[in-house]
Amino acid sequence: MSFINECCSILRRSNKDMLYIYLDKDGLYYNYYDSNNRIINRDRLVNDKNLDFTKYSFTLDKKDNIYCIYSDKYLQILECKNGSTVFTQKECITYNYKKFGLVFPHIQYINDNTHVFYYAFNNNSSNTCVLFHHYKENDYWVENKIDFVNHLVLNDYIILWNKSVPTIFYFNLVNGCEEIFASRFNLGTFTWSTPIQITNSGENKIYLSGIRDSINFYHLSFCENIKNGYSVKYINGYLNDNKFELNNSSYLSKPSTCMYPSIVKNENKLLISWVDFNKLFTSSSENLGKSWDEPHLDNDSIEEKFSRCSFYSNYKGDLSYNVNEVFSTINDVGILGI
């Protein structure tokens, strides 16, 4: 079997109930599993044959409410309340879909306040878009343009939280090559900081992943072009007001067809998994990324179909894992690489 280039979602509530969301030929579906791993509800969430993973995302709040945001002719927000297995519409945001397109929408509810993110582009132009953020507090919406983004291949951004404050990481072109930038939201002024350029290698990059740990240390991974192939690269450091203080930087693989690195931190151990030639490889570090072991092949990725998944959990057995994305087998929803 091999890697299936789709993006599913796994969301686990504090009682261990789990939703597995996946894209099929005629729309977006979900399976609801109880704490004994039995499917108790299966339904189609979005009926749209043209839907792809750039048009939707899911999240889970601290109260076990699950949210879906997706874009079609509107920006739709759906909610599955704690204790329920059914999604209902929560909000619907209008925009001029004939003139603009929206991709990679994300939503987060924190302390009853709403954060909405997306890229917006003009349907008649290419390779330039705007990274938008909408913030709702006390029924009042604030809109910000975080940055204008030039791109060769548009990549998803990542949002990392320090309590209720988001910091966003994304690629933007510098002299024709992707470099990583970051900006932080100010809850006092409702504005974003001037973007900080984090990398300056002058090499093309793709597939950004990252986490923030409990000591305010940022761990980032991406694929960087070297010798006509892509290698998995890892960097870490602290993000101050106007500078990223780089601590460590390592290549974890040789140049190849590497895709979709995903970072996991469990206590003092870091793991990064990625896809290469449709198989899953993982490397680990036990000294905060100073050194890494040789990548090893996950044998299950040879025998079974697998895909990448966004992952959110309130279940106590998962809380020691600092993770946003995982890889999972498709048939039985088994997580790989951890």
Q: pLDDT tens across 135-170, in order? A: 999 889 999 999 999 998 889 999 999 999 999 999
pLDDT of residue 116: 97
3-state percent breakdown (helix, strand, coil) of the chain, nearest 5: 0, 60, 35
- Return the pLDDT at 127: 85
Position 87 scores a pLDDT of 96
Contact 179, 155 (CB under 8 A): no
Residue that is written with structure tokens 């993006």 in the block: 7
What φ, ψ does residue 126 adopt, rounded to 5°? Answer: -140, 160
pLDDT computed for residue 202 by the predictor: 96
Is residue 39 within 8 Å of residue 30, measured between CB atoms?
no
Task: Read off the pLDDT of residues 280-311 as tens digits, 9 standing for 90 and up.
Answer: 999 999 999 999 999 999 998 888 899 999 99
Rounded mean pLDDT, 181-190: 96
Q: How confident is the model at residue 1 (pLDDT cuts 50, 70, 90)?
A: low
The residue type found at 265 is K
- Tens digits of residue pLDDT in 80-107: 999 999 999 999 999 999 999 999 999 9
Q: Residue 211, exposed/middle/buried by CB under 10 A (0-12, 13-18, 19+)? A: buried
Question: Rounded to an integer, what distance in angstroms lies between the CA atom of residue 289 and that of residue 132?
Answer: 32
The first and second tokens of residue 330, run together, are 């498709």
* CA pair distance 338, 234, nearest whole angstrom: 18
Sign of CA pseudo-dihedral 67, 94, 113, 110 = positive
Mean pLDDT, the chain, whole residue set? 94
